[in-house]
Chain A
Amino acid sequence: MVYYLSGLAILLGINLIAIWGLDLHFGLTGINSFAYIVFQAVGGYAAALTALKPPAAYGSFETYVGGFNLPFPLPLVAAAAAGALIAVPIGLIAMRRLRADYQAMAMLVLSLIATGLANAQTKLVNGPAGLALIPQPFAGVFTLSRDGYNWIFLGLTAVCCVLAWWVARGISRSPYGRLLRAVRDSESAVSALGRNPNALRMSVLITGGALAGLSGGLLVEYVTAWGPSSWLYPETFLFLTALIVGGRGNLAGGALGAFLVPILIVEATRHLPAFGYPGLIDSLDWVAIGAILLAFLWFRPKGLLPERKRVFRPAGGGPGAARPRAGLAGGRVESP
């Protein structure tokens, strides 16, 4: 039980980092980041390929490039860096056209292509079978029980969560974050005021990509395996649903969504008494997630904890500190 709960807490933390990263893309900047899972996937592979020993060390039972056997924390650093780097080609392809519907479609297609690529290239990341036996951080350093190791990993996850929180909060309260929200509301007005909306989008795609990469690295180091079936395109919509349910543009909203959707809904259904044919409950999970997404988009598009209104203290009330005030349900007036 302790093992189960600490494992769940680790997954919550990993999802939290990913959802905060997605919030930078989607909530703050309004990018329809439908290839988001690819950032996490690439981070996962980067961590795996840097942590694994060369294929020969395992009797070549899996084939892949790399295998550098780097010690902690380098695989996680590589994961974040890979997530940031992959943002550049994804951004260049998906943001060639300004229209949001084009961007969404291009992102989705990129996600499908990435899955196809990982499946087809067996020499790259071992094809559809995926990578296994990925060394965990501090492996062999401590002699710990399974439970004990989980606590160590939970601590590591918590540190990464704090880091992600610090990045997301720094951005959301800063003038840079304000510009990103301006891009979300009106790109043409942003460029008429002398800023390049595409450069702003690219910078946030990279930052959010780094957080997704980090979450992928952590996930892979925790579960010690990673394959194309772990990051199919619907996983992006699991994160999106979490963000929309919890509240985009609000760190607490992302956290609430991270708890409610991937943990509460997906985990709770695992404890249902079995009914129907095997796999029915898993499929119903996705039906439920889709239905929740639609219900929120219809009835509460701003989520349970909506973005807060930024109200500045009156002149003379301090050195220009912006104190977000929790308005009634996110502000006195609703914008259309």
Chain B
Amino acid sequence: MTAGPGAAAAGAPGTLLQVEGLACHFGGVRAVQNATFTVSQGTITGLIGPNGAGKSTVINLISGRTKPDRGSVHFDGKPITGLRPHEVARQGIVRTFQQANVFGGMTVLENLLVGATPWAGESLLAALGPRRAWSREQAGLLERARDILARFGLEDIADDYAGALSGGQRRLVELMRALMARPELLLLDEPMAGVNPALALSIAQRLEELRDEGMTMLMVEHELRLVEKLCDPVVVMAAGRVLAEGSMAELQANQEVIDAYLGGDGGH
């Protein structure tokens, strides 16, 4: 299943994620066909394309939620193809979901605490032992969680149930929770969908800051102005295939991409 030495050798310096020949089908529908692209260290790589292009499926294939029929995924040179979702996450790849996926019956702070991993105190044995065994670690994580909340300007909702928040706030909680895990690669599936424009801009700023601090992201997004502002390079998919890969400026000059997705004016 793992690709041969060719794939590893193809990983140019700075390549964090390498997707090669990925394919998967649902019934008779070929959702993804022969998808090949790379994500370089320290970039926000965009993944765009019309509805049904297979973008979310690619995210699911990388994160282990869907098993590929063919192809391979390498992360930091190691094969992660076919690993289960929690195993992929342990490699340092944390994802968010198209529908904000928070722990609704828990407070925002609790959501963030679950994000932190690995935790010495989260075993059954630790639960039955004295609280001292985990309270110090928890205090440190709480501090980190409060720092992240402050950075997003959301200290006020720390003790609110995540299920009671607005859609946009839930997306932020999901993002903050992912940050608690200190991922090397963040997979964002439409992080700005359903978020008001002001909040979307503020999310974009946070993402830029994170990139400047060295975090790598692969982001599915439909709002092309945000993609243009944030993402370089951008991967374009249509009908399950990767059409092109390059900067937004290059793509806007690519006739195939224009026909398939961008339309005449290069944006909406």
Interface residues of A (CB under 8 A from B): 166-167, 170-171, 173-179, 181-182, 184-186, 188-197, 203-204, 207, 307, 309-312, 315, 319-322, 331-336
Contact = CB atoms under 8 A, between A and B. Distances in A.
Contacts, number: 149
- Main SS at interface, chain B: helix
A188 B174 CA distance: 12
B146 interface: yes
Contact of B89 (A192, A310, A311, A333): A192
B161 A320 contact: no
Given A170-B129, A177-B127, A185-B105, 6 more contacts: A170-B127, A176-B121, A192-B95, A192-B96, A194-B94, A194-B118
Interface of B: 63, 65, 84-86, 89-90, 94-97, 101-107, 109-110, 113-115, 117-119, 121-124, 126-129, 131, 134-136, 138-140, 142-143, 146, 158-164, 174, 177-178, 181
B117 A193 contact: yes
B106 A312 contact: no
Contacts of B114: 178-179, 182, 190, 193
B142 A176 contact: no
A188 B134 contact: no
Contacts of A309: 107, 159, 161
Given A193-B181, A195-B117, A335-B163, A320 B97 contact: no
A321 B137 CA distance: 11
Q: Which of B63, B129, B164, B181 has the most CB of A within 10 A?
A: B164
Contacts of B122: 174-176, 178-179, 195
A186 B101 contact: yes
Contact of A319 (B119, B124, B129, B135): B135
20 contacts: A176-B122, A178-B106, A179-B114, A182-B103, A185-B102, A188-B97, A189-B174, A191-B85, A193-B114, A193-B177, A194-B94, A312-B109, A319-B136, A320-B135, A332-B160, A333-B160, A334-B164, A335-B161, A335-B162, A336-B163
Given A176-B127, A184-B105, A335-B163, A196 B86 contact: yes
A181 B124 CA distance: 14
Contact of B105 (A167, A175, A181, A197): A181
B65 A188 contact: yes
A166 B131 CA distance: 12
B124 A207 contact: yes
A319 B110 contact: no
A307 B105 contact: yes
A173 B131 CA distance: 9
Contacts of A319: 135-136, 139
Q: Which of A175, A319, A332 has the most CB of B within 10 A?
A: A175
A320 B103 contact: no
Contacts of B174: 189
A175 B119 contact: yes
Given A320-B139, A333-B161, A174 B104 contact: no
Contact of A312 (B65, B96, B142, B177): B142
Contacts of A320: 135-136, 138-140, 142
B240 to A, nearest CB: 23
